Structure 1
Amino acid sequence: MQNSVGAVSFLASVASESEALVCSSLGADIIDAKNPAAGALGALPLATVRQIRACVPTHVPVSATVGDPEDDADKVVRAVTDMAATRVDIVKIGFRAGAASQAVVERLAALELHGARLVAVVLAEHGVDLELVARFAVAGFAGVMLDTGDKARGALSDIVGAETLARFVAAAHENRLFAGLAGSLKASHIPYLLSFNPDVLGFRGGLCRAGERTSLIDEQAVRSVRNAIPQRAGNAIAACRQPHGNAIARFETESAV
């Protein structure tokens, strides 16, 4: 499955209701609720996530992370179920390559999530297991993102080579998943990453003051990222009510029903 030319969603990770309002008002396509002080995929309190979902316009999808990768399947299932109950559109779960991740995927496949969709976030430092991408698809996930866990090591493109990035995006599309790229990204990384035909580009540090992911959102940084990513025609859900060959559009079409 190929992404439509220029159809890339801008995901903005936020830590509060006020940050969500800023990013949604400046054109972020997806608002991602995350606690950057608690790790690469730190989870916010459920009450905060509910506030973020309530304040963001209904046409803007909201995602939320449930914490860094965890091998305890029972713990992951509880965290995902609780987060889905906040009525977010997407629940993001961290994964590392390995057998434990496969067991977690199998448990998640059977969950009833109040309409929320699952998105896997693979941390690149632990290897990129393309067979795991296929398992996400079988389990009913909507998409898969490649991110970094150790933000001190640099951006995703510093850690993962061009061949691996291309193979990751291709594997996601072949399995009818949307493909996302994230990991200490800045506006300057966008032209290079667009060449791999992703469906989503995710940002946190690149939207913050002084590029520090635990700092507050910087409106000018958000504008710079928004201006560098080709915008969809219309909003992120309305633009895809007529299905076309792109996996993020397929998710948005289904979630809008």
Structure 2
Amino acid sequence: MSPAAPGLLASVTDLHEMELARAGGADIVDLKQPAFGALGAWSTQALTAAVMLWSAWGEQLGAAGRPALSATVGDQPMVPGLIRAAAERVAGTGVPLVKVGLFVSPHANECIEALAPLASRVRLIGVLFADEAPDFAVLAALGRAGFAGVMIDTADKKAGSLTAHLDPLTLGQFVAEARRHGLMTGLAGSLRLEDIPALVGVGADYLGFRGALCEGGRTGTLDPVRLGQVHARLREPSDH
């Protein structure tokens, strides 16, 4: 039996794109500002408005009928106090899934431990970077700290897509190891339409897109037609 198709995470830059992503069938609407780095963050005011819109969707569609909502905390230095403060800021707006970039650093474990108290109150998603030779040993630390999930993305968007850095076999090992620690999984990083067939077989819970959904690349504007193409490709029966 083929594995269930991964969900679609669509990164959006404003409330209008949020609406387009919801209408286009995104399973997670991800609030991110690509112009500000790999995990560029929305302002507190904009996040609060986004949570209000998401709450209104819940009233219209029921909680089960709306996509999940995630937001990034920005490209933070791996300093425990700073990363905790950034995550607290985003969590304080009511965003239910908070994505924290974990850059390769000798202080990664300290940063994860600093986030453990927050992980008991909000669903934290750790983000590793494929182009930084990530250490999958960190997955055990994320599990211990109570994180809800983990994603692999790319830090340098000019250095090629996720598949240029990690092959499907390695990504499959990442997914299996993350599951062993109770973490949901996502793959992202300049993914293109043609990357989908190989990645569906990896078995991650979500695939994340920005550039492939946009007219003019990741800093362009969300295009409903491109979103529709990605959504359809994700749901095509695979040979795996």
Instruction: Give TM-score, length-normalised by structure 1.
Output: 0.84
Report the AA paired with residue 200 of structure 2: L
Task: Report deviation, 1:126.
Answer: 1.4
Alignment match, 1:176:
182
**1:24 aligned partner:** 22
Residue 163 of structure 2 aligns to a residue whose secondary structure is helix
2:87 paired with 1:74: no
CA distance in 1 between counterparts of 2:180 and 2:167 reads 20
1:214 is matched with: 219
Return the offset for 1:111.
2.4
Q: Hey, what does 2:72 align to over in structure 1?
A: 65
In structure 1, distance between residues paired with 2:152 and 2:212:
17
Task: Specify which structure has the bigger relative contact order, considering alpha-carbon pairs within 8 angstroms and separated by 6 or more residues.
Answer: 1
What corresponds to 2:12 in structure 1? Answer: 14
Whole-Å Cα distance in 1 between the matches of residues 37 and 223 of structure 2?
20
Q: What percentage of residue pairs aligned between the two structures are identical?
A: 37
Report 1:20-99 matches (<5 A): 20-56=18-54, 57-58=57-58, 59-99=66-106
Question: Which deviations, in whole Å up to 9, do the C-alpha atoms of 1:52-104 show, x marking residues without a partner?
Answer: 22223233211000112421111111111110011111000001233211110
Please list, as runs of the form range in 1=range in 2, the aligned pairs for 1:194-213 lying within 5 A after superposition: 194-210=200-216, 212-213=217-218
Contact kept? 2:127, 2:153, Cα under 8 Å: yes
Structure 2 counterpart of 1:187, from 184, 193, 203: 193
| Structure 1 residue 108 corresponds to structure 2 residue 118 | no
> CA contact under 8 A between 1:31 and 1:63: conserved in structure 2?
yes
Deviation, 1:189, is: 1.1
Structure 1: gaps (5+ residues): 232-257
TM-score, length-normalised on structure 2?
0.90
| Partner amino acid, structure 2, of 1:195 | G
Structure 1 segments (4+ residues) deviating >6 Å: none
How many residues are treated as equivalent by the alignment? 226
SS of residue paired to 1:169: helix
**In 2, distance between residues paired with 1:15 and 1:145?**
19
Whole-Å separation in 1 of the counterparts to 2:234 and 2:52: 26
> How far 1:116 sits from its partner (Å)?
2.4
Give the Cα separation in 1 of the matches to 2:229 and 2:48. 28
Name the residue aligned to 2:233. Answer: 228
Question: Any stretches of 5+ residues in structure 2 without a counterpart?
Answer: 59-65
Distance 1:5 1:162, change over 3 A: closer
* AA in 1 matched with 2:41: A
Deviates more, 1:120-129 or 1:157-166: 157-166
* 1:230, distance to aligned residue in structure 2 (A): 2.7
Measured in 2, the distance between the counterparts of 1:53 and 1:26 equals 19
Whole-angstrom distance in 1 between the partners of 2:119 and 2:138: 22
CA pair 38-146 structure 1, distance change in 2 beyond 3 A: same
- The structural deviation recorded for 1:7 is 4.3
Task: Give the equivalent residue in structure 1 for 2:144.
Answer: 138
Contact 1:64 1:90 in 2 (8 A): yes
Q: Match for 1:127 among 128, 133, 143?
A: 133
